[in-house]
Structure 1
């Protein structure tokens, strides 16, 4: 079935609405996450809060740079000074624009960092509930240990996406010109160093891009498994304490719903994007039927909708923390002078121990 002009208009309209909506969402998400980061820095002694700091930093960097790319695409800003005209360079080499590539690396790195730190949160919650008295678990959830986990996660994904830089070479532009080029006499006067990569070495980068859908899909499978185990443990705790601690049961029920909400948001934002990309790759590798072109257009449009879901998911982190953690709420109230002093003292405890579900307030 061939794509009609009306269908093309619909896809363009969906693209325009999705990108416009996502641009607004990105600005809102960046603002919310900066406020969220400020709150988390006051609560950085808790393991979960340290992981949330890493997630928030990754989201802020990702959406800031992505917003910057959108501004360039819509010609709100100009970036001509970043680019270099290498028209007469020999075909064996490809020009590397370092500023653009580094910014793109940051966007690529930020996404899996945010995802896998969320996975670590789910893992720590699950282990803390399953083995509340384990010394090994307690050591693993210390601030220093969690800080190493965050740095290790960042380091792994930085290496994963930037290792291609080992093939980058700095060359003198006049030395790599094709003398048969029509504009050789003009380009030979451009005396400066540039960064290039051999065309044969770019195949590694292409292969890595083919793995990207699976990089997104794997945590989408693992995260729900961890969540199901965690919810089962919380349900067991709720049954054991039902007769003596009804208030705790209510909070446990709320926490269970919030964890389930985070998992569903994660699966929608990352899982759908991964499945969509794998489907697109499968269609591109096939010989193609008459309806494949239209299906590719639909799937390509779906990527923009998935971007909206990812932005909404990043925005929700602040609100999830607010409703899940009494310590977070108390900090927000203090910031806005909403908390009245009734001679109460707050016992600070890490939210990593979900056996207690939330902080206790003692008179």
Structure 2
């Protein structure tokens, strides 16, 4: 993460705040550049929709925080934590926990609980800007690591059902090997998310709006929306789309292996079909929707709305 030096200029000809979609050119005239006329005509409507989605996401993250606490309490029982699948599920819970915690921190820091935030564009105390960048970094880490671990669980379950007599697969199902895989994925995801932290710049705000009183502290904000960040998020979205597609393929193989095994069992012992494959399908659909939506959002953000005010 970088801290830029104080600028010596007076008023920046580019004016922006979180409620404005307008750019000012050097003549102080509005410079509007939209990819679609629909967005400009229904700007307030889209703003309300995005605000609703943002608030809903914050609420769901808070709920997820406590749900994962309960899951961790159950999965860390002695009887469960020696099983490879449950070990990986503990890793998924920890990743989701970290992501939810990052969202909660971002939210609570804006409430003025830690200190009184004085209005000066989007400026905050320096440590507040640091905490925000750390929280977003934790979100990236938790989201990516969780999806990879979920794919890993599906893969090992598919292999164990497709090749039940394989000694190689049996070796891969040992807790020691599972811990190694989780450690490798954790290191890779930590390295990937740290790119965001170290490349994000924090800048001192040297002027406030003429109607705003100068704050008692020096305001800072981290610069978002730079080209490197858009490319970074785009690649993160590509990984999300890749995970969603691979998960569907692995789940399809697992469902096929389950149905084949149950058909053989039914012919031999006359047992009825179970609903295991239905649970696999539900999990696959939920993962696909979650990851594909995230990846698709940033795909359109970069390839279609790049440089436009919709972004």
Q: Report the TM-score, using the length of structure 2 for normalisation.
A: 0.70
Match of 1:84 in 2: 126
Q: RMSD between aligned alpha carbons?
A: 3.8
Alpha-carbon separation, structure 2, partners of 1:82 and 1:239: 63
Matched, 1:11 2:46: yes
Q: Counterparts of 1:78 and 1:12 in 2: how far apart (Å)? A: 28
Q: Is the 8 A contact 1:82 1:100 kept in 2?
A: no
Q: Where does the alignment leave 5 or more consecutive residues of structure 1 unmatched? A: 86-95, 170-176, 183-189, 191-196, 301-363
1:159 aligns with 191
Contact map agreement 2:244 2:291 (CA 8 A) in 1: yes
- SS for the counterpart of 2:81 is coil
| TM-fit CA distance, 1:103 | 2.6
Separation (CA, whole Å) in 2 of partners of 1:79 and 1:121: 45
Residue 209, structure 1, aligned to residue 233, structure 2 = yes
| Aligned twin of 2:101 | 64
Aligned partners of 2:91 and 2:149 also within 8 Å = yes
- Structure 1 window deviating more from structure 2 (228-237 vs 101-110): it is 101-110
Deviation at 1:25, TM superposition (A): 2.0
Describe the shift of the 1:100–1:39 C-alpha distance in structure 2 as closer, same or farther (beyond 3 A).
same
Contact 1:62 1:110 in 2 (8 A): yes
Cα distance in 2 between the residues matched to 1:23 and 1:106: 15
C-alpha displacement of 1:78? 4.1
Residues 164 and 16 from structure 1, CA distance in 2 versus in 1: closer, same or farther, beyond 3 angstroms?
closer
Q: Which residues in structure 2 correspond to 1:126-275 (within 5 Å)? A: 126-163=158-195, 207-247=231-271, 249-251=272-274, 254-275=275-296
Which structure 2 residue ranges, 5 or more long, are not aligned? Answer: 1-35, 118-122, 208-216
**In terms of mean alpha carbon deviation, does 107-116 or 238-247 score higher?**
238-247
Give distance in 1, aligned partners of 2:48 and 2:101: 25
Deviations 1:75-118 (A, max 9, x none): 55548698339xxxxxxxxxx95443333221111101000000
Give, in whole Å, the separation in 2 of the partners of 1:9 and 1:168: 30
Q: Deviations over 1:181-238 (max 9, x none)?
A: 99xxxxxxx9xxxxxx9x9xx8755542331221211111111011111111111111
Cα distance change, pair 110–230 in 1 and its aligned pair in 2 (3 A): same
Does 237-246 or 127-136 show the bigger shift?
237-246
Partners of 1:272 and 1:164 lie apart in 2 by: 21
Residue 9 of structure 2 aligns with which residue? none
* Cα distance in structure 2, aligned partners of 1:207 and 1:7: 28
The count of residues paired between Structure 1 and Structure 2 equals 257
The equivalent residue for 2:298 is 277
Whichever structure has more helix as a proportion of its residues is: 1
The 1:283/1:76 distance shift into structure 2, 3 A limit, reads farther
2:152 is equivalent to residue 120 of structure 1:
yes
SS in 2 for 1:44: coil
Distance 1:41 1:79 in 2: 40
Match of 2:72 in 1: 37
Structure 2 CA distance for aligned equivalents of residues 280 and 99 of structure 1:
26
- Using the alignment, how far apart are the partners of 1:4 and 1:164 within structure 2? 30
Q: Deviations over 1:297-316 (max 9, x none)?
A: xxx7xxxxxxxxxxxxxxxx
- In 2, the alpha carbon distance for the partners of 1:17 and 1:97 equals 24
Residue 45 of structure 1 aligns to a residue whose secondary structure is coil
Q: CA deviation at 1:23?
A: 2.8
Rounded to whole Å, the distance in 2 between the matches of 1:215 and 1:162 is 16
Contact persistence 1:227–1:263 (CA under 8 A): yes
Alignment deviations for residues 60-85 of structure 1 (CA, whole Å, 9 cap, x no partner): 11101112212234555548698339
Asked if 1:50 is matched to 2:73, the reply is: no
Higher deviation after alignment, 211-220 or 115-124: 211-220
Q: 1:22 to 1:206 in 2, by over 3 A?
A: closer
Partner Cα separation in structure 2 for residue 164 and residue 68 of structure 1:
17
In structure 2, what is the Cα distance between the partners aligned to 1:122 and 1:145? Answer: 16
